[in-house]
Amino acid sequence: MTKKERYEKVIDWFEKNMPVADTELHYDNPFHLLIAVILSAQCTDKRVNMVTPALFGAYPTPEVMAVSSPAAVYEYIKSISYPNNKAKNLIGMAKKVVNDFGGKIPDTLEELESIPGVGRKTANVMLIVAFNKPAMPVDTHVFRVSNRIGLTDNSKNPVQTEKELIKYIPSKYLSLAHHWLILHGRYICLARKPKCEECGLTPFCKYFTKKR
Answer yes or no: do 180 and 116 share one domain. Answer: no
Mark which of 90, 105, 131 sits at the end of a domain. 131
Answer yes or no: do 127 and 35 share one domain. Answer: yes
Answer yes or no: do 178 and 99 share one domain. Answer: no
Mean pLDDT over the full length of the chain: 95
Arithmetic mean of pLDDT, 33-38: 98
Mark which of 131, 165, 198 sits at the end of a domain. 131
Binding-site residues for [4Fe-4S] cluster: 189, 196, 199, 205
The DSSP secondary-structure symbol of 197 reads G
pLDDT at 170: 95
Question: How many domains does the chain divide into?
Answer: 2
Answer yes or no: do 125 and 153 share one domain. Answer: no
SS3 label, residue 44: coil
Arithmetic mean of pLDDT, 26-40: 97
Chain-centroid distance of CA 13 in Å reads 21
Arithmetic mean of pLDDT, 86-113: 97
Answer yes or no: do 156 and 186 share one domain. Answer: yes
C-alpha 186/C-alpha 195 separation (Å) is: 11
> What percent of the chain stands above pLDDT 70?
100
Angle at 139 between CA 146 and CA 122, to 5 degrees: 140
Q: What is the pTM of this model?
A: 0.90
Contact of 42 with 121, CB cutoff 8 Å: no
Task: Please give the residue range of the domain that contains residue 52.
Answer: 30-131
Answer yes or no: do 58 and 104 share one domain. Answer: yes
The domain that holds 71 is classified in CATH as: 1.10.340.30
Residue type, 63: E
pLDDT at 209: 87
The larger pLDDT score, comparing residue 175 to residue 210, is at: 175
Arithmetic mean of pLDDT, 161-185: 94
Answer yes or no: do 36 and 126 share one domain. Answer: yes
pLDDT at 107: 96
The larger pLDDT score, comparing residue 2 to residue 67, is at: 67
Tens of pLDDT along 47-94? 999 999 999 999 999 999 999 999 999 999 999 999 999 999 999 999
Answer yes or no: do 50 and 110 share one domain. Answer: yes
Band of pLDDT at residue 212, cut at 50, 70 and 90: low
pLDDT at 211: 72
Question: Could you confirm whether 100 is annotated as catalytic?
Answer: no
Answer yes or no: do 144 and 189 share one domain. Answer: yes
Band of pLDDT at residue 137, cut at 50, 70 and 90: very high
The domain that holds 195 is classified in CATH as: 1.10.1670.10
Mark which of 100, 131, 162 sits at the end of a domain. 131
Which of 86, 95, 96, 139 is the catalytic position? 139
Residues 6 or more apart whose CB falls under 8 angstroms from that of 212 comprise: none
Band of pLDDT at residue 210, cut at 50, 70 and 90: confident
Band of pLDDT at residue 17, cut at 50, 70 and 90: very high
Answer yes or no: do 127 and 158 share one domain. Answer: no
* Cα Dmax for the chain: 58
Question: Could you confirm whether 12 is annotated as catalytic?
Answer: no
Answer yes or no: do 54 and 117 share one domain. Answer: yes
How many Cβ atoms from other residues are within 10 Å of residue 100's Cβ? 12
C-alpha 135/C-alpha 177 separation (Å) is: 10
How many Cβ atoms from other residues are within 10 Å of residue 190's Cβ? 13
Arithmetic mean of pLDDT, 156-176: 93
Answer yes or no: do 61 and 114 share one domain. Answer: yes
C-alpha 179/C-alpha 208 separation (Å) is: 22
The larger pLDDT score, comparing residue 209 to residue 92, is at: 92
